Chain A
Amino acid sequence: EDKSAASKDSTPEGTAKRQEDGAETPKQQLLDIIGKMKVEVSYRKKLQQLKASENKKQAMSKLESSDSEGSVPQGITETQRGKPLNPELVKAASAVASSLPRNKKQTESELLAQLRRHEETTDKQKKGGTINIRNVISEMTIKRQSPAQRGMRISGLISLQLDEDGQRIRRERSSAEPMDSRRSLKVGKRLNIFTKASTEPEHALKTVSSPTIWDLEFAKEVAAVTAQPPRNGFEEMIQWTKEGILWEFPIDNEVGMEDDAEFHEHIFLEKHLEGFPKEGPIRHFMELVICGLSKNPYLSVKQKVEHIEWFQKYFEEKKELLQEI
């Protein structure tokens, strides 16, 4: 799975899959992959580095001591095949892949993987399980180096341009291993970024009995005692705003007016006229009423409907009288 997707990067959106094993085996595999990719065109290297820096940011949250210089693409995202993609999106992806000049199958698979990742992140955000920066920062520590390692690093920097990618990574890998042994990877609070966050036992809603009179009185007393007189004009204005004496700025013209109805519900009121006879003076009268209501911007739809219903009730009561006429 790793190799098929990452073996040939034909599109800039090449994805590398992430695993949760120990640090050894994925690195090994990636090294092999990267070794193979040495021969290719130079711009691919830049893409690799871009991708590596992106994945590095993701890796920092997983490991405790982060290799700041490691260009090892340690990032592997976890794919959740559980949720199938939108078929329209799949069709669109295949269309895009077919339009691109080379390696249609590769591009399609990579686009689909990208889409899947997007879906994942949106789902996770909806559930509210995204990375909590506080958790991340609490686990990070200042890295301490022995002078030997520092020397190695400097020598590595000097010879950076001469070595190829594979060589540089190998040195980093050897320097990373002894550091890992000092702080084990399993220590510390789990961040639950990759595993599905275990659904915490939902706090059972405490059944609140209706507050007794004594509770209300106590609450009032506490509020009265703690309410200090305002120290300055600002606090006075805050208090007034809370009480409703002062409006909230910037002034909202539609405070208290929550008319969710569309314009057509205001204007086309004929459907409320079903209870009335089709012909005659009453119908004529009601049509005039509706004409006037449709031009009225001050009433809400509910009020207009009540208006019409009142008339309906009134005319029904007077039905006998009307029959005589």
Chain B
Amino acid sequence: MAAAALCWALRVARQVLPSACPRQVRSYYVDWRMLRDVKRRKMAYEYADERLRINAIRKNSILPKELQEVADKEIAALPRDSCPVRIRNRCVLTSRPRGVKRRWRLSRIVFRHFADHAQMSGVQRAMW
């Protein structure tokens, strides 16, 4: 029982479902934190509409205040991972939470590595 748990924990992260294409596919996420971030993103996508509508009722000067208070309670009752504020833009390759450029979704270190090896299209060392 303990051995099984250990084996399971030894696995770095969860395996993605195998896809049909025969090429090499990354089947694991970089670490657990990245996995959790992925889960949060999925949940935020699912609840996005509801959150938008309940917020529209809350941030309102027309509707009666009692209704707005009820809406407050409702939105607080939604699962915590469904709010978009908890999403962190991590580096896609190293899962680094800080120093991530949004355009490339990469951390600064990985970005520098690829740019120096000329694997980033249109990126050049600045010199002026």
**A238 to nearest B CB, angstroms?**
14
Complex: A311 Cα to B71 Cα, angstroms:
12
Q: Mark B40-59, 1 if CB is under 8 A from A, else 0.
A: 00000000011001001100
- Given A224-B22, A311-B53, verify A318-B64 contact (CB < 8 Å): no
A285 at the interface (CB under 8 A from B): yes
- Given A227-B22, A243-B21, A318-B70, verify A310-B63 contact (CB < 8 Å): no
B15 at the interface (CB under 8 A from A): no
Partner of A325, one of B22, B49, B53, B64: B64
A249 at the interface (CB under 8 A from B): no
Residues A284 and B62 in contact, CB atoms below 8 Å apart: yes
Chain B residues with Cβ below 8 Å from A282 are 63
Complex: A285 Cα to B62 Cα, angstroms:
7
**Helix, strand, loop or mixed for chain B's interface?**
helix
B60 at the interface (CB under 8 A from A): yes
Chain B residues with Cβ below 8 Å from A92 are none
Chain A residues with Cβ below 8 Å from B56 are 289
Number of B residues with CB within 8 Å of any CB on chain A: 14
A213 at the interface (CB under 8 A from B): no
**Number of cross-chain contacts by CB at 8 Å:** 32
Chain B residues with Cβ below 8 Å from A325 are 64, 66-67
Partner of B63, one of A224, A281, A307: A281
Residues B62 and A321 in contact, CB atoms below 8 Å apart: no
Q: Mark B11-24, 1 if CB is under 8 A from A, else 0.
A: 00000000001100
Which A194-253 residues sit within 8 Å CB-CB of chain B?
A: 224, 227, 243
Residues B22 and A321 in contact, CB atoms below 8 Å apart: no
Complex: A325 Cα to B56 Cα, angstroms:
20
Residues B62 and A307 in contact, CB atoms below 8 Å apart: no
Residues A285 and B66 in contact, CB atoms below 8 Å apart: no
Residues B62 and A288 in contact, CB atoms below 8 Å apart: yes
- Given A224-B22, A307-B53, A311-B53, verify A322-B62 contact (CB < 8 Å): no
B residues touching A (Cβ–Cβ < 8 Å)? Answer: 21-22, 49-50, 53, 56-57, 60, 62-64, 66-67, 70
Please give 10 more A-B residue pairs, beta carbons under 8 A apart, in addition to A310-B49, A314-B53. A285-B63, A307-B49, A310-B50, A311-B53, A318-B70, A321-B67, A322-B67, A324-B66, A325-B64, A325-B66
List 13 interface pairs A-B (beta carbons < 8 Å), by A numbering.
Answer: A227-B22, A243-B21, A281-B62, A285-B60, A285-B63, A289-B56, A307-B49, A307-B53, A314-B53, A314-B57, A321-B66, A321-B70, A325-B67
